[in-house]
Amino acid sequence: MRKQVFTGITMLGLFLTLAVASVQAQTERNEVTNIPFKFVVGQNTLPAGKYRVESRTKNSDTVWLIQSTDSSASAVAITTPVRVSTTQEESKLIFHRYGDLYFLTQVWTAGANVGREFSTSSQERAVERELAKGMSKSKMAKKTAKPQMVTMVASG
């Protein structure tokens, strides 16, 4: 009798664990960010639209997929971890903005204090060099050559 109760409790625990993992995975996949501007990820320029951003593999957060909800545009990028001391309240994407050029730089998931950072693309480095070259004469101008940070919050 005792063995049957133990087996029942174990099975119930396993079932609940799988159910929670499934709901969590569905929640992460269903988060969509409406991005109202074209943007660069790695060597890809993606048009404005609604996007899902998710880890490409289950065992590692290194490779991320950025894909429009209608699957017409996508990019895959390698990321590195970035940490903050506070837990994120919302899932969000962070962009570097230079005029009308936007570069995806970080992705954060609600409930975590570790985000993912995208490598600086060669296109963004070229923009930084051009701005630094054109503004190297004054210290005030150098400050304006830095990117503006733009945050887009994901919704379910």
Instruction: Kindly state whether residues 10 and 50 are assigned to the same domain.
Output: no
- Take residue 143 and report the two structure tokens written for it: 């400050």
- pLDDT of 139: 52
The total domain count for the chain is 2
CA dist 152 and 42 (Å) reads 18
Instruction: Kindly state whether residues 77 and 24 are assigned to the same domain.
Output: no
Q: Which residue has the higher pLDDT, 126 or 6?
A: 126
Instruction: Kindly state whether residues 8 and 78 are assigned to the same domain.
Output: no
Instruction: Kindly state whether residues 79 and 8 are assigned to the same domain.
Output: no
Side-chain-side CA neighbours of 142 within 13 Å: the count stands at: 4
Which of 26-40, 119-133, 136-150 shows the lowest per-residue confidence on average (mean pLDDT)? 136-150
What number of other Cβ atoms are within 10 A of residue 116's Cβ?
A: 22
Q: Which domain holds residue 15?
A: 1-30
- Take residue 54 and report the two structure tokens written for it: 């998710």
Instruction: Kindly state whether residues 119 and 76 are assigned to the same domain.
Output: yes
